[in-house]
Chains A and B, each alone.
Chain A
């Protein structure tokens, strides 16, 4: 069974630009969550989508947004990039009815 797939793996963007990251969950998983990981703040929850609806949201500014498609694939978008947005962005998918979350390898975003 394929794991969680995130694309691209690495990305370099300039301040002020926007970026879209993609996540394909494990087949059959309908819940997709996004996390930001930085050396200073650790792993922080961004948002969760279930059946195309945002079910939960963390304490991030509105520049961070996401969506989920009918096939459970998810995208997250960051607009007006800031240097502090440089981080490893992780996507996790969860099977219905159980709390376990399985992570992808992440997208390393560098903002210059």
Chain B
């Protein structure tokens, strides 16, 4: 059974203070690892897909990396608008489009 664990559960940052979020996973044949951002009361917003170990993707202040067991989401010089819950999910090759999610990391960036 696919499993995803995210840490920490919550993160409080000062504006400009860079940090990293961790996503550890086990999956039978990785088809893709996904990062989403979710604001309160809204649906998850797609950020990145990573397909194989060593791959990196960047978008504004966010950078996602992937190894065979973990993914990291680096937030560089965050701003208050980066405050959100960040969700990691995996999809196995035999799972159709089913996503298995981690519990998320709640990020609060204070000005």
User: Could you list which residues of chain A lie within 8 angstroms of chain B, going by C-beta atoms?
Assistant: 4, 6, 31, 33, 35, 42-45, 48, 50, 55-56, 58, 88, 90, 92, 94, 99-106, 108
Task: Give CA–CA (A100, B49) in the complex, Å.
Answer: 7
B98 and A33 contacting across the interface, CB-CB below 8 Å: yes
Count CB-based A-B contacts (< 8 Å).
66
Shortest C-beta distance, B28 to chain A (Å), equals: 14
Name the residue among A42, A90, A99, A106 with the largest chain B CB count within 10 angstroms. Answer: A99
CA distance A102 to B34 in the complex (A): 11
* Interchain CB contact under 8 A, B43 and A101: no
Q: With both chains docked as a complex, state the minimum distance between the C-beta of B73 and any C-beta of chain A, in angstroms.
A: 17
Assembled-state Cα–Cα distance A4/B34 (Å): 18
The answer to whether B34 touches A100, judged by C-beta atoms less than 8 angstroms apart, is yes
Would B96 and A103 count as touching, CB distance under 8 A?
A: no
Complex: A40 Cα to B101 Cα, angstroms: 13
